[in-house]
Structure 1
């Protein structure tokens, strides 16, 4: 088993690790000859970061050309390598390479004593170069069968999203949700296809079991029992509703349009709403630290939120976050 590569100077490899830091303590990596997968899961009450359903999840699949040069992955499993590592250990290497002129990565050791070794070269102010090595422990090397049972590598199966909306700056949303957290544990995120988004605090109790058509903000309040104690509501308008062609094609039922386009044609001002835990939303908003190019939220009513975090201008370099709506109370 061999793994080696030179990390591109945009440090996207480390940015991906930094983005999953708030999701789970463990980061799951899949190296193949053509791409690299990152995955992490946060399961409340579950000590196994790779297990459990209904959890906040983050995953990414990035082509090798966006991460490395001189890349090679070799193994007896079709040259695929599956690793579990502690995110904080990877970030230690990231901090050491912040001013590096070159970073190379290779897998060293065997079995229970394996490492990802990062050789980091930097120059001082007079041009002298020096190289240090950071050996990052590998928690475990997984077999293909072991990786198949690790849900961090799997994209959750979800119903078709009905609304895609470009989020405002993540820093702004972080400050808003920080103030929400002082009075509530849950937040209702509502968006429509007229560029509007509502954020409302709620006590987490749903008043009735099905979403209704044409909900305005007051109807959304009734739907979730928002007015129980105190309430904060923030409204955004003038946001962009992007067309995600690949998503629409995936859920096309044969009539040439997916659920997003159908809603756009029939009821663009109707809100689609999902209730999530504020702390879970804040975990996603921590991706502001990697300065994403854009963030798109896809709303799956009565089910979950999906966040597509694009780390650069290439759509292939993206993270996807999944936040499920808690079970009815």
Structure 2
């Protein structure tokens, strides 16, 4: 039996899917439509959010199913499944962000710049520019002119940046900074299935949150994200042998050292070592002229048991 509306008419359902890049305002539009309010805070949509609203149009009642999709590139492969059986697909875009929009001057976004160089063009009251630091960065603003201002980084070094970019970095929200940190060490690959990408992204969010909590509350000297990642990895790896990385005082576990089988070169009374790590030596010869120099006790190993032994440590 089909659902009925308040006036006895069949309740018709319509599926509306909102598509677009990240941070273009899909969630803001839906919030405005659903609750007639505007939320100044920003929280990235992960995967998809579902909302429903009943509307009364003259002599009929309709139910709108609103699909708020994530705009990150890792979720784009899911778009065909989102729009399947949809009534309307709403494409949301931001004309101030897309670098290759039709009205953007090609001499700006196609210009090859050296580090520190900046190029700007003006049309009416819109300032469109491109600046290169480690990578090219497009920006569009209506507030700032073509000015370069000095900026002091965390190390006390002074560099020059366009005023629009410098102000953006000052007033950047926490979510933008989190997305920036996630972009430094991307783990997703196009060949992964969507649920694996979602799981990896969720794990990365947890990792970034733990990194910020550590720097704020641990009482220890603050660490860079790179050093924090290495320290967590080393803690998760088993504590076996350690050696020192060349040019660094950081010790590393045996998992970070390349192990290879080598021939025993010491000429003494016990040239052959007992291959006690091989499970099949009970009925075979138990001595071997091969061992692993990188392991702590330099165990005697044969070719057959070398991989098996190192997988078990």
- TM-score of the pair, normalised by structure 1: 0.19
The structure with the larger Rg is 2
Higher RCO, 1 vs 2 (CA within 8 Å, ≥6 residues apart): 1
Q: Which has the higher strand share?
A: 1
- TM-score of the pair, normalised by structure 2: 0.20
